Amino acid sequence: MASEETSSSDPVTTFGGPPAGEAGGVLTIDLGAIFDNYRALTVRVLPTECAAVVKADAYGCGMEQVVPTLTRAGCKTFFVAHLSEARQVRALAPESTIYVLNGFIAGTGAAFAETHALPVINSSNELGEWDHFVQTSGFIGGCGIHVDTGMNRLGLTIDETAAVAARMQTENHGMALLMSHFACSDRPENPLNDQQIRQFREIRVLFRGIASSLANSGGIFLDKSAFCDLVRPGIALYGGNPTPGKPNPMKPVIELKARVLQVRSVAKGGAVGYQSAWIAKRASRIAVIAAGYGDGVPRAAAQTDGTPGRDVLVAGKRCRIVGRISMDLMAVDVTDMPDGAVRRGDLITLIGDGLPLDEVAAQAGTLGYELLTNLGRRFHRIWKV
């Protein structure tokens, strides 16, 4: 993504995407909040090391801006999903340790060595392919070992991991990290959390001498027994609530505003949008907004005759999205706003300023993760420090 910034060694506000006057809206990302969120998590888990998950373009917030911010905050270890993302992090944080969560793909060994990234091994077959590369290349960068303790997604079984532990008796075993992943850490009452902590504790005894990691964002707010040697927050860094149902301990990071293109009258009984899915039950005024599912607004977010819809902020007042959301547009019912309070060219708030990320996601029937990672590239972007 292109960016413009002043020439200074100090952090500065940067801009990206189309110019503000040419865009349908403005996305503001608070890098200072990301910095503070990382430092708050670091203090919470001391003396455990706090890493950072920056996959999916740092959860949609911009890897080029977020990784240097986290580095300034003291982060030395990063987790990504793909090798291509590891290359990005390496260019931005040359001295960091980088783990690739999706593991090793045959034929990519040279690229791992060049990037000096560590694959997280997720299966016995993958381990065999990695071993072959190491033996034929002499690469000594190491790898992570992922043990599945209950997610049933990626990872070696408990028995497979126990067999791998025999390597610990060799001088050059090549393992740098043992990790697992919580399935339900955002629900502290779920018994699977304790089961996973117990299983991981039992297996990590066999891997004394290398670092261990279990806790994600939610895990950081469970019992300290989940901390191990390294925690891996993701969503919490970007303002998502790691403790659903409780006040969010993290600072909000994003604010999203979109432009009013037109304010129009709709007669009682008139339909709005595709499939005439919303019918005006009174004479109404509708603001047409320059944002749609092509910009990451969930199509299910609008009010139809069968769904409640979600709120946006218009001049500080909550109003409902109505009718089907289309690729580039959506409609907002502003009937109860005073005449003249909503005009063409105004910006309304979709996320932020009293509309928290997680509330917006819940109203749309999705998660903050999905909203963040789908943030559109057609918005003008501001990264403030």
Is residue 224 part of the annotated active site? The answer reads: no
Beta bridge partners of 287: 263, 332
Which of 29, 40, 30, 383 has its CA nearest to residue 217? 40
Q: What is the mean pLDDT of residues 68-84?
A: 98
Give the count of beta carbons closer than 10 Å to the beta carbon of residue 322: 24
- pLDDT value, residue 9: 57
Q: Which helix (H) or strand (E) holds 77?
A: strand 77-80
* Residue type, position 230, single letter: L
- pLDDT value, residue 306: 67
**How high is the mean pLDDT of the chain?**
93
Is residue 99 part of the annotated active site? The answer reads: no
- pLDDT value, residue 341: 94
Query: Which pLDDT tens digit goes with each residue over 175-190?
Result: 999 999 999 999 999 9
Q: Locate 29 and state its tokens.
A: 């990302």
Quick check: pTM over 0.85?
yes
Residue of 38, 55, 59, 99 marked active site: 55
Collapsed DSSP state (helix, strand, coil) of residue 216: coil
Does residue 215 carry a pLDDT above 60? yes
Residue 2: pLDDT band (50, 70, 90) is very low
